[in-house]
Amino acid sequence: MTKTAERRPVPRAAALPDPAPPPAGGRRRRRIADQARAYAFLLGALVCFALFSWYPAVRAVVIAFQKYTPGSKPQWAGTANFTRVLHDPEFGAAWRNTLAFTLLALLIGFAVPFLLALVLNELRHAKAFFRVAVYLPVMIPPVVSALLWKWFYDPGAGLANEALRFLHLPTSNWSNGTDTALVSLVVVATWANMGGTVLIYLAALQSIPGELYEAAELDGANLLQRIRHVTVPQTRFVFLMLMLLQIIATMQVFTEPFVITGGGPENATVTVLYLIYKYAFLYDDFGGACALSVMLLVLLGAFSAGYLRLTRSEGDTP
């Protein structure tokens, strides 16, 4: 990485003494004043983090063990929320769908952008066009993408079936069929989000030193061998990082199922976050919603920890 050189701070000033040390008595007063000033700068952000990040995290755990309906006093409920949620038939469906969504998104939403990035890196013309085109869907609001694809998936005059008819293929129910709904949503999510993955992976590909490919070619490596022995190992870190980020993002999928299918047909696209939303805003059962949140939190926390470890260990190497 080329960044390390410019990142390294100028070493000498690590603990610079005050330019003109004040007399002994005033020194302490000055230090307190300095600290007060530092905390004045920190205050706004600290209050916001405390209110909207730290406190809700603690509160999720507390409410998960309470009977909580807005307006009345919360009561301790032991593990009742968890057992109730676990016995909800939608619970299994929601987790199955979320995991299936994540897995499919890895298969489709991950293979496609990598292949695209690999090809794009070889093209020497119209680079700007490719980058703008692939990132355009990312800038379209997710709600608009979802509504747009809902229209494409319309069994009647939707573009998806029109395309199939044009190719003389049998039409599909897309997001309206129990078997096809989840895959249809994965396609939408992939279309809407892969621009970021392509651009990040492209940047990683560009940082591979050309000499490596040259040396491999001199050693007689063909195209596939060069991909396997140069491209893949050289971009392994970015690859893993993107994979974890994608898992974390898709485990929290909400907009697509909410807008396109409403969780249907027959719960085929209910996701965990959707179920959390339902518990809180349809059933008024905030205890159940928080119990679900805690479960999601634990799982995602594990993935996030993996992600942070990965980025940290890479960042620390000099």
Partner 1 sequence: MTTRTLISPATLARPRGRAVYWTVFTAVVVLFALAFLFPVYWMVTGAMKSPDEVARTPPALVPHHWRLGGYTDAWDLMQLPQHLWNTVIQAAGAWAFQLVFCTAAAYALARLRPAFGKVILGGILATLMVPAQALVVPKYLTVADLPLIHTSLLNDPLAIWLPAVANAFNLYLLKRFFDQLPRDVLEAAEIDGAGPLRILRSVVLPMSRPVLGVVSIFALVAVWQDFLWPLMVFSDTGEQPISVALVQLSQNIQLTVLLAAMVIASIPMVALFLVFQRHIIAGIGAGSTKG
Distance of alpha carbon 264 from the chain centroid: 24
Query: How many whole angstroms separate alpha carbon 34 and alpha carbon 28?
Result: 10
Least separation, in Å, of the C-beta of 83 and partner 1? 19
Exactly one of 30, 37, 228, 236 binds partner 1 (CB under 8 A); that residue is: 37
Of 35 and 83, nearer to partner 1 (C-beta) is 35
Q: Going along the chain, which residue ranges are E strands?
A: 66-67, 75-76
Please give the size of the binding site for partner 1, defined by CB under 8 A. 115
Of 211 and 220, nearer to partner 1 (C-beta) is 211
- Contact status: 305 vs partner 1 (CB under 8 A): yes
Residue range at the interface with partner 1 (CB under 8 A); choices 77-85, 101-109, 123-131, 176-184 = 123-131
- Contact status: 125 vs partner 1 (CB under 8 A): yes
Least separation, in Å, of the C-beta of 179 and partner 1? 24
Residue range at the interface with partner 1 (CB under 8 A); choices 21-29, 30-38, 87-95, 101-109 = 30-38
Least separation, in Å, of the C-beta of 117 and partner 1? 11
Least separation, in Å, of the C-beta of 21 and partner 1? 14
Vertex 16, ends 15 and 21: CA angle to 5°?
125
- Contact status: 204 vs partner 1 (CB under 8 A): yes
Of the CA atoms within 13 Å of residue 34, those in its CB half-sphere come to 7
Residue range at the interface with partner 1 (CB under 8 A); choices 82-90, 91-99, 103-111, 116-124 = 116-124
The DSSP H or E segment spanning 24 is helix 24-49
- Contact status: 53 vs partner 1 (CB under 8 A): yes
Residues 6+ apart with CB under 8 A from 254: 271, 273, 274, 277
Exactly one of 80, 148, 164, 183 binds partner 1 (CB under 8 A); that residue is: 148
Residue holding tokens 């491209």?
Answer: 231
Total residues belonging to the chain: 318
Show the tokens assigned to 250. Answer: 């898709």
Within 181-200, the residues that bind partner 1 by CB under 8 A are: 191, 196, 199-200
Q: Are 22 and 31 in contact (CB under 8 A)?
A: no
Phi, psi of 77, rounded to the nearest 5 degrees: -130, 5
- Contact status: 108 vs partner 1 (CB under 8 A): no
Residue range at the interface with partner 1 (CB under 8 A); choices 81-89, 94-102, 114-122, 173-181 = 114-122
* Of residues 77, 73, 105, 44, the one with CA closest to residue 256: 105
Least separation, in Å, of the C-beta of 97 and partner 1? 16
Within 67-96, the residues that bind partner 1 by CB under 8 A are: 70
Query: How many whole angstroms separate alpha carbon 76 and alpha carbon 107?
Result: 43
Of 103 and 302, nearer to partner 1 (C-beta) is 302
Of 179 and 214, nearer to partner 1 (C-beta) is 214
Residue range at the interface with partner 1 (CB under 8 A); choices 22-30, 39-47, 99-107, 176-184 = 39-47
Measure Cα distances from 258 to 194, 275, 277, 279 in Å.
20, 10, 10, 14
Q: Would you state the torsion angle of the CA atoms of residues 49, 55, 60, 61, taken in this order, to the nearest 10 degrees? A: 120
Residues 6+ apart with CB under 8 A from 165: 171
Within 234-293, the residues that bind partner 1 by CB under 8 A are: 238, 241, 248, 251-252, 254-255, 258-259, 273, 276-277, 280-281, 286, 289-290, 293
Q: Are 311 and 1 in contact (CB under 8 A)?
A: no
